[in-house]
A = this chain, B = another copy of it.
Amino acid sequence: MRNGMILTAILLSCVPAAARAGTDWQALPDVAPAPADNPTTAAKVELGKMLYFDQRLSSTGSVSCFSCHNVIEGGDDHMATSAGVHGQKGGRNAPTVWNAAFHSVQFWDGRAPSLEEQAKGPPVNPIEMGMADLGAVTGRIRAIPGYRPYFVTAFGEGDVVTMENTARAIAAYERTLITPGSAYDRYVKGDEAAMDATQVRGMETFAATGCTACHQGPAFNGPALPGGTGFFVKFPTHAASPYVAEYALTDDAGRYAATKDEADRGMWRVPTLRNLAYTAPYMHNGSVKSLPAAVRVMASTQLDRTLTDQETADIVAFLGALDGPFPEQTLPRLPPTPGDLLN
């Protein structure tokens, strides 16, 4: 994944002039990309939604994907860091599942190359869903007889109730959790009335300040890269920013914690900026409580810029144009539980 790093360096060196000159504003596609070996089908999406909501995939039976990635609001959980089984707290802020399909790698440190691989993480994380291993997860699903017909419909006959297919189904569902059609999307497609004057001014300020160096592309999370190739940026870049200490921004070594490569120290995947109104608090540690504060922090730590109140307000207004719309969803119906499954 070194190419991701190199790309970062090139991009940072050619900004902000390019961004100012003519930003390539892109609307979010109406359909999320899917890997060749896991095309999105209605049957996989239906099964994946069931599994996504199923608390029985955790050791205690109390935590599901939905618990921390709550698709009824911001796709996260309102918390600085999440609460897993036995009330244990994780170390990083839950990234939103909304538009995660447009990330080329998953997790804050990009350690998963796909949604499929990401889906295998939390179930066996001892402070998230706490299952002993992936075999235990599969065992739990197999012990619920009502699931098998859904796996057969999605993946065919045979030994199909597997962790691979579980992850494929969850990933397929997550690829439907996208929010094209925001005010911004309509604006860049030609509907000039879709954003108000403040938002348009904020959009210009956003580019002129240099935010688009990293927050570019349809999901505002970086350039288009092949799946598995991450777009990583050092955060904070300007260590002298007073916010670094105020928000404890270097307490977590970022991607280094996953790779143990010194070059990865303080490197982070660039998150999407869509639906920020719904995903407070902010940063990898959830330390920044409001969106105006988050904008000031990023300008200072990444671009060595101190924004005026007007610039901050304008950028916040623009970011509001990236909210929603959220697709209406029906609740899944889960198959019944054998009484001895959990106790």
Contact = CB atoms under 8 A, between A and B. Distances in A.
Given A60-B83, A61-B77, A336-B278, A286 B331 contact: no
A79 interface: yes
Contacts of A282: 339
A236 B245 CA distance: 63
A289 B341 CA distance: 9
Given A281-B340, A340-B281, A331 B331 contact: yes
Contacts of A332: 72
Interface stretch (A5-13, A97-105, A322-330): A322-330
Nearest to A294: B339
A302 to B, nearest CB: 20
Copies in the complex: 2
A198 interface: no
Contact of A78 (B80, B326, B342): B342
A331 B282 CA distance: 25
Interface string A64-81: 000100111110011110
Given A330-B330, A340-B289, A79 B62 contact: yes
A78 B60 contact: no
A41 interface: no
A53 interface: yes
Contacts of A77: 55, 61-62
A290 interface: yes
Nearest to A82: B62
A343 interface: yes
A62 B56 contact: no
A343 B281 contact: yes
Interface string A271-300: 000000110111000101111000000000
A125 to B, nearest CB: 15
Interface of A: 53, 55-56, 60-62, 67, 70-74, 77-80, 82-83, 85-88, 277-278, 280-282, 286, 288-291, 326, 328-343
14 contacts: A55-B78, A60-B79, A61-B83, A62-B77, A71-B331, A78-B342, A80-B342, A80-B343, A86-B86, A86-B87, A281-B339, A289-B338, A289-B339, A290-B338
